[in-house]
Amino acid sequence: MNTRSLKFRLVGWYAVVLLGCFGLLGAATYLALETSLMGSLTETLFRRARQIAQLVWEESQRQAEAEVGQEIQARYSPDLNERFVRISRADGATLYLSPAPKSQSFDPATLPPPQWSARTETSRVAALVGGRRMLLAAHKLQLPGGARYLIETGAPMDEVQADLRKWLKFLLAMLPAVAAVALGGGYVLVKRALSPVDQIAASAQRISSHNLSERLPVARTGDELERLSVALNHMIERLDAAFQYSRRFVADASHELRTPLTVLQGELESLAQEPNLTPEWRDRLGSALEEVGRLANIVDGLFAISRLDAGEAAAEWVPFDLAQLASATADQMSLLAEDKKIQVTCSGATGVWVEGDRARLKQVVVNLLDNAIKYTPDNGAVGLTVKAQGTKAVLEVEDNGMGIPPEELPQVFDRFFRVDKARSRDQGGAGLGLSIVKSICAAHQGRVEASSTLGRGSRFRVELPLVPIKTNHNHSQRNHEQ
Amino acid sequence: MLLVEDEKKVADFVARGLRAERFAVDVAYDGTTAWDMASGTEYDLIILDLMLPGMSGTELLRRLRRQGKTAAVLVLTARDATADKVQNFEAGADDYLTKPFAFAELLVRVKALLRRPPTHRTHELRVGDLEIDRLTQQVRRGGRRLELTGKEYALLEYLAANAGRVLSRTMIVEHVWDESFESLTNIVDVYVRHLRTKVDDPFPTKLIQTVRGVGYCLGEAVPA
């Protein structure tokens, strides 16, 4: 999983925030529950203390102070209810102390002594042996005769603590479910929120120099996504304008360059036709004409590349067998290889169908073979392979020539690039052949790559989209050999 | 014929060359003049540049065709974009030539358009003691049979059919191979060399002539 991705981070944050909220809420409910339970317990204890105070008051009216204990026992039986009751007089004597409860959960005798305070009612928490605690509520009673009593009631806090523990357990049990909902919900939300971004990316991917007039779909949501697609569209517009400008420039430059070349060639040719020229003059004119020819070739090549890169529509777009095209082309060029005693072998499948401009793809084969033959020494070997590989038609031209130094490999498709500057000119060409190959491949949604071992040979690999095989439909290739 | 070309220098040497070949040539330097001339006269052939002041070549062509003019039209242009070609063929062009061009090539195309075949259209071609039978594709020189491969034969036949005329490498490539080989004019040199070893080497008189900077020519001497 890509931990740096926006999706991952958003889901992460979302889950953390949601779990944090859950934690806070849990803590708040826990505290509220504790307060409420303690409050109601305290209230109960105070009520009982007041009732007992009433009893003490009534009994003292009847001068029957000693019967208070019996009365309490009879009315409230604190030992059966796990309650604690103690009545102390101001002189320190204990008027009544409830017996130990049945469960022996606490020993009333060991509880801390009463605490007199100025207020009528106070409550406190007393620690019991064994780490347990007891809530004590005290009520101060002042009789008209001046006698003062402190009536204390108490209850162990076990029940409250058990309830709180139950709540905590419930919260913890809910945690995985909440975490799952947070992660799942977050993932779905983020995915939905980011899906327009994916769409924009996919649309942007489809737009290349060949279809710059297309625009991205703009979601009218008034948010960041709309701004993003609008901004991208503006950028594509500017690119489109730049491309159109350069296309116009190429057309103009083409015209401006070709016209003087035409004049030059025409005038030189008519001069060369002069009957009484010395052979030396004829030779010089011929040399000048050769240069004009080369210049015209360069202009042609450059403009061909520019037009291909600008995505100009191909002359034709038909399905054809790349293997057949390759072998027929190799056949036509066999003499070039024979001239250098180079063995050209054609291998691979037949019926490798691709779609496109046949003349231009043929030029790919021509240029690659020409290149291979040119840079392979006499008696070398050049291999041409065509095969189908997955959804790709693959054409490979391999030679055992001088190879290309690794540091120059990335540049072989650059315009005017030559591996061996010294042997350039007389080999013909201006270093545009491979650039043209690259541009043609790109115009066919394909690609070309070069690999090489210095001194042992090079391999050029062309990949084009394969079209579904047609069987009974035998497009017979017009063979120029006929 | 009418030559419409706004570049005076191009127009000059084309007109000069065509007149030397005994064609009657009128020249117009802009679209509107050309329209006036072409709509009033029946020309056999119009050589038309596309980028013209006044009226574009394509527009002129469309108007002429709408008027029912049947003159053959050879379009000259500096733009060889495929879309342009298609557009102009649709407008009624008969042939297309991209600048810069060899005058020899222009001449061959002009003659083809005027339906004046460069040589007699018989099945027997004869240059010096070289005989080519187009039906059986057999080649003899001095009575001796020469064994040629398919491409060698195609090359020799093209040279022989235009005997005495200099053919540029581009013309040869386009005729014998196809436009995919245009960048590869040295293929012509290689084939010519092979052809020479069969056609010329065994004989004292050399028939295949090299015209430097221009191309090749079949004949007993380089034409002046």
A225-238 pLDDT, tens digit each: 888 888 888 988 99
Q: Which among A251, A259, A268 is the nearest to B10, CB-wise?
A: A259
Confidence of residue A479 (pLDDT cuts 50, 70, 90): very low
Contact with chain B for residue A286, Cβ under 8 A: yes
C-alpha dihedral (A80, A85, A87, A92), degrees to nearest 10: 110
Q: Check residues A474 and B84 and name the one with the higher pLDDT.
A: B84
Contacts across the A-B interface (CB distance below 8 Å): 142
- Is the pLDDT at A193 greater than 60? The verdict is yes
CB proximity under 8 Å: A 297-326 to B:
297, 300-301, 303, 307, 312-315
Pair A379, A364: CB distance under 8 Å: no
Residue A349 burial (CB < 10 Å; 0-12/13-18/19+)? middle
The pLDDT score that the predictor gives to residue B119 is 47
Question: How far apart are the CA of A339 and the nearest CA of chain B, in angstroms?
Answer: 7
The verdict on a CB contact (< 8 Å) between A288 and B213 is yes
Kindly indicate the confidence band of residue A454, based on its pLDDT and cuts at 50, 70 and 90: confident
* pTM for the structure as a whole: 0.60
- Choose the CATH number for B2-113 among 3.40.50.2300, 3.40.605.10, 3.30.300.30, 3.80.10.10: 3.40.50.2300
Boundaries of every domain in chain B: 2-113, 124-218
Kindly report, residue by residue over A89-102, the tens digit of the pLDDT. 888 888 888 888 88
% of chain A exceeding 90 in pLDDT: 17
Does A432 sit within 8 Å of B184, measured CB to CB?
no
Residue B223 has pLDDT above 70, yes or no: no
For residue A42, the model assigns a pLDDT of: 92
CA distance A429 to chain B (A): 7
Give me the pLDDT at residue A478, please: 42
pLDDT in tens, A42-66: 999 999 999 998 888 888 888 777 7
Complex ipTM value? 0.74
Higher pLDDT, A173 or A243: A173
Q: Would strands B144-146 and B2-4 be described as parallel, antiparallel, or unpaired?
A: unpaired
Per-chain mean pLDDT for chain A: 84
Q: Is B104 in contact with A258 (Cβ distance < 8 A)?
A: no
Query: How many angstroms away from the CA of B143 is the closest CA of chain A?
Result: 25
Top-confidence residue, A357 or A30:
A30
CATH topology of domain B124-218: Arc Repressor Mutant, subunit A (1.10.10)
For chain B positions 172-201, those within 8 Å of chain A (CB to CB) are: 176-187, 190-191, 193-194
Q: Which of B72 and B181 is assigned the larger pLDDT?
A: B72
List CB contacts (< 8 A) between B98 and chain A: 258
Predicted local distance difference test score (pLDDT) of residue B83: 60
So what's the pLDDT on residue B162? Answer: 84
Residues B105-148 have pLDDT tens digits of: 888 888 888 875 444 456 788 888 899 988 888 899 988 898 88
| pLDDT band per the 50, 70, 90 thresholds, residue B214 | confident
pLDDT at residue B13 in the model? 87
Res. A346: pLDDT tops 80:
yes
If you measure CA to CA, which chain A residue comes closest to B9?
A263
Q: Do B102 and A269 touch (CB under 8 A)?
A: yes
For range A138-156, the mean pLDDT: 87
The per-residue pLDDT for range A263-313, each reduced to its tens digit, is: 888 888 888 877 788 888 888 888 888 888 888 888 888 887 877 776 665
